[in-house]
Amino acid sequence: MSLLRAVGRPMLASMFVAGGLESVRHPQDVVPVAEPVVRPVTERVAVLPDRTEQTVRLNGAVQVVAGLLLATGRLPRTAALALAVTLVPTTLAGHRFWEEDDASRRVQQRIHFLKNLAMLGGLLITADDTGAAPSMLWRGRRTARELRRDAHLVRHAARAGARPAAAAARVRAKLPG
């Protein structure tokens, strides 16, 4: 792992571990803000808890676990993707700058919204980062290309071997007895 990944991943993960712990410990602090976003999501996604407090705790727990995985470099792409998924409702619930009447609060909420948007971008880049190793998609395509090439070579070899065998069979058939 490069030095930049070794330093950058824990830095990116730190915000999620801290925020996730706070949501797990004190979900009631976030419930009023989260309610307008959580309610429509829980109505569409049956596996989520019905109560907003439980959903906030679950979101926080996912952030803690995925943040620790990302910080330690274990399953970093999966962890980054999980964090990205949790960041979207967190941002939409917590930083609704477009609903603020007070100009200074609107500016602050917009700053936090854009900060979360920047973190989302970092998580998406991290989710796509293969660490200089070929991705599964690249490996699959390469394997398929190699298999097609091998099948082509086998087909040509079979045809090339069949011609002399056919000629030998014709000669044998013409020989007496």
Q: Is 177 exposed, middle or buried (0-12, 13-18, 19+ CB in 10 A)?
A: exposed
- Asked whether residue 4 carries a pLDDT value surpassing 90, the answer given is no
pTM: 0.70
Distance (Å, whole) CA 177 – CA 173: 9
Amino acid at site 12: L
Distance (Å, whole) CA 154 – CA 57: 58
End-to-end CA distance of the chain: give it in Å, rounded: 74
- pLDDT tens digits, residue range 106-158? 999 999 999 999 999 999 999 988 777 777 788 899 999 999 999 999 998 88
DSSP code, position 137? H
pLDDT of residue 177: 67
